[in-house]
Amino acid sequence: DMVYKIPAAGSPDADALSVLASILSGGRSARLYESIVRQKQLSSGVSGFASLSRGPGLFQFGGTPLPGKTPAELEAAIEEEITKIQTAPIADWELQKARNASRANFIGGLGSSLNRAIQLSEDALAFNDPGRINTRAASIAKVTAADVQRVAKQYLVKTNRTVIVTTPKAAAPKASAPTASSPKASAPKGVE
Judge whether residue 192 has pLDDT over 60: no
Q: Is 189 a residue whose pLDDT tops 60?
A: no
The predicted pLDDT at position 188 comes to: 52
Q: Which residue has the higher pLDDT, 192 or 171?
A: 171
Span 41-88, pLDDT tens digits: 999 999 999 988 778 899 999 999 999 999 999 999 999 999 999 999
Nearest to 39 by CA among 28, 48, 49, 47: 28
Q: What is the pLDDT of residue 134?
A: 87
Triad 160, 165, 171: Cα angle to 5°: 170
Name the 3-class secondary structure at 66: coil
25 or 54, higher pLDDT: 25
Residue 32: count of CB within 10 angstroms of its CB: 22
- For 80, phi and psi rounded to 5 degrees? -60, -45
pLDDT beyond 90 at 4: yes
Q: Is the pLDDT at 158 greater than 70, yes or no?
A: yes
pLDDT of residue 92: 93
- Tell me the pLDDT tens digit for each residue of 86-144: 999 999 999 999 988 888 888 888 888 998 898 888 888 888 888 888 888 888 889 99
Helix axes 92-108, 14-25, angle to 10 degrees: 110
- Single pTM value for the model: 0.80
* pLDDT number for residue 181: 56
For residue 152, is pLDDT > 70?
yes
